[in-house]
Structure 1
């Protein structure tokens, strides 16, 4: 039977297990994919603890497979699906977990993987890179503008810095001192995080910043808002919508379309965007991959690779 890495109830790592599951069957509008790689994101462990995405009301059916994004090869298509056929190399958001040998993808949230993009790189794009892309499109800045990215050393932050550079923007990236070289390698001006970071940001951008893309939330979001003359140029993926609205900004509005997936994959193919996959783990070590992200020690992206 196919394998999947699941959690059996809400809680900590003790709820996780590698188990045998039935091979999924694609429903209407879905494609069944033989997974080759799955990206690991903070939202994965948060969902295990009981966190629900905005608008998500359905209760989970345990065991629930972990993982939100995958790449692989189409095995079967469901009723009404067009544009995909068995044998196609694809990537996208999953309907019911990605840490598995087989995953279901909604056809509307899947895209064809360019030949120049590896399965590992493609598997990191639907969550982090697409979120970064959506936020920058929402800011709608002209080339030459300066955007400040908080949490620039993380998965979304690293993607946001690179995509912003590809859009012709100047980037100021806030991250720990230990990530200075990494942030600079993204084409950003590094500002050390921690107490006093806002003043350091003002010194790094004496002409001011035109927009803020926040990935941290809390007090960092509040301080970042104080750097802006126009609070409408504040977006966050690190805080709830109400926290952003209270400061005059907004939560990143996710497009969740195949067009965005195509756009970020093209940036990778053109080498304008490097997903920075720094660690890979086989499916049987999915727990180690998740711990690396959950403990906050990951630099770049962590990927689970699944053998054919």
Structure 2
């Protein structure tokens, strides 16, 4: 039977397990894919702890981990005309992607660009798409300065590159160990940690034009001190704190059109996913730990062989 990596209850890593389950069947408006790779994101382990989007319902347990996946279509559901068996696609799964098979709704599924690896494509549906949505939401003009916290992580790396392509000057907050990496993306590096607000004021005495936060908490509060217009303060990590500061969360489009666009950016080399570590499905727990400890550089991906 096909394997999947799940959490059996809400809690810590002890709730995780690799299990066998029946192969899913594609419903109306869905495609079933044989998974080739699945991206790992902070939201994955947060969902295991019970976190869910405002208004979202608790997931039936056991629940499969994973919110972005790439694979080969093996079955199409009723009404599906955009894809056929054998197509290579990527998108946001219906009920998890750390598995040998996953269901994708066609509304948030796109064709994998020719020449883009399965591994790199797995970094696009959540990480790159979130970055793309956030940069478009801010709508800063070319030449403006954007501050990105968590600039060395999966979403941050994509955000820096998309912002630079839009003609923005980028200041990236990340750990000291990621200084060279962040600078290689074309951003001005500012070390994270205690005293961040003072360091930001030293680097940007005139302030910045926008803040794209991907860390939350103290980092978000410190970043807000160098921004005059709170209407240009967004977060992908901490909606509670950003609301207190007068900003807002990233408004996710979650459309196939956005996936097509980030796929195009990756295919033409504008956006490099920077997958720095890969794990097989039977080591999915290690992949989660690499992201959960908060120090991952670039993107972590789980690979599933054909």
Range class of TM-score, shorter chain: over 0.9
Tell me whether 1:298 sits opposite 2:284 in the alignment. no
What's the counterpart of residue 272 of structure 2? Answer: 274
What's the counterpart of residue 261 of structure 1? Answer: 259
Q: What secondary structure, in the 3-state scheme, does the structure 1 residue paired with 2:208 have? A: coil
CA deviation after TM superposition for structure 1 residue 238, in Å: 1.6
1:121-200 map, 5 Å: 121-200=120-199
Q: Structure 2: which 5+ residue stretches go unaligned?
A: none
CA deviation after TM superposition for structure 1 residue 206, in Å: 4.1
Tell me how far apart the structure 1 counterparts of residues 204 and 265 of structure 2 sit (CA, whole Å). Answer: 27
What's the counterpart of residue 238 of structure 2? Answer: 239
- Give TM-score scaled by structure 2 length: 0.97
1:19-52 deviations in Å (ceiling 9; x for gaps): 1110100111111011000001111111111112
Asked if structure 2 preserves the Cα contact closer than 8 Å seen for 1:66 and 1:98, the reply is yes
What's the counterpart of residue 52 of structure 1? Answer: 52
Tell me whether 1:6 sits opposite 2:6 in the alignment. yes
Tell me how far apart the structure 2 counterparts of residues 203 and 49 of structure 1 sit (CA, whole Å). Answer: 38
Tell me whether 1:15 sits opposite 2:23 in the alignment. no
Asked if structure 2 preserves the Cα contact closer than 8 Å seen for 1:33 and 1:76, the reply is yes
Mean Cα deviation higher: 130-139 or 47-56: 47-56
Q: What secondary structure, in the 3-state scheme, does the structure 1 residue paired with 2:270 have? A: coil
Asked if structure 2 preserves the Cα contact closer than 8 Å seen for 1:134 and 1:252, the reply is yes
Tell me how far apart the structure 2 counterparts of residues 216 and 284 of structure 1 sit (CA, whole Å). Answer: 29
1:33-77 deviations in Å (ceiling 9; x for gaps): 1100000111111111111222212x3222211111100101111
Tell me how far apart the structure 2 counterparts of residues 142 and 38 of structure 1 sit (CA, whole Å). Answer: 34
Asked if structure 1 preserves the Cα contact closer than 8 Å seen for 2:211 and 2:224, the reply is yes
Q: What secondary structure, in the 3-state scheme, does the structure 2 residue paired with 1:271 have? A: coil
Q: What secondary structure, in the 3-state scheme, does the structure 2 residue paired with 1:288 have? A: helix
Asked if structure 1 preserves the Cα contact closer than 8 Å seen for 2:204 and 2:226, the reply is no
- Give TM-score scaled by structure 1 length: 0.96
What's the counterpart of residue 93 of structure 1? Answer: 92
Q: What secondary structure, in the 3-state scheme, does the structure 2 residue paired with 1:72 have? A: strand
Q: What secondary structure, in the 3-state scheme, does the structure 2 residue paired with 1:160 have? A: helix
Asked if structure 2 preserves the Cα contact closer than 8 Å seen for 1:113 and 1:122, the reply is yes
Asked if structure 1 preserves the Cα contact closer than 8 Å seen for 2:36 and 2:303, the reply is yes
CA deviation after TM superposition for structure 1 residue 79, in Å: 1.1
Asked if structure 1 preserves the Cα contact closer than 8 Å seen for 2:192 and 2:219, the reply is no
Tell me how far apart the structure 2 counterparts of residues 168 and 215 of structure 1 sit (CA, whole Å). Answer: 21
Q: What secondary structure, in the 3-state scheme, does the structure 1 residue paired with 2:177 have? A: helix
What's the counterpart of residue 118 of structure 2? Answer: 119
Q: What secondary structure, in the 3-state scheme, does the structure 1 residue paired with 2:227 have? A: coil
1:160-210 deviations in Å (ceiling 9; x for gaps): 111100111110001111110111111100011122222322332344311
What's the counterpart of residue 227 of structure 1? Answer: 226
CA deviation after TM superposition for structure 1 residue 292, in Å: 1.1
Mean Cα deviation higher: 41-50 or 85-94: 41-50
CA deviation after TM superposition for structure 1 residue 275, in Å: 0.9
CA deviation after TM superposition for structure 1 residue 219, in Å: 2.3
Mean Cα deviation higher: 196-205 or 171-180: 196-205
Asked if structure 2 preserves the Cα contact closer than 8 Å seen for 1:172 and 1:201, the reply is no
Tell me how far apart the structure 1 counterparts of residues 46 and 248 of structure 2 sit (CA, whole Å). Answer: 22
Root-mean-square deviation (CA, aligned residues, Å) is 1.2
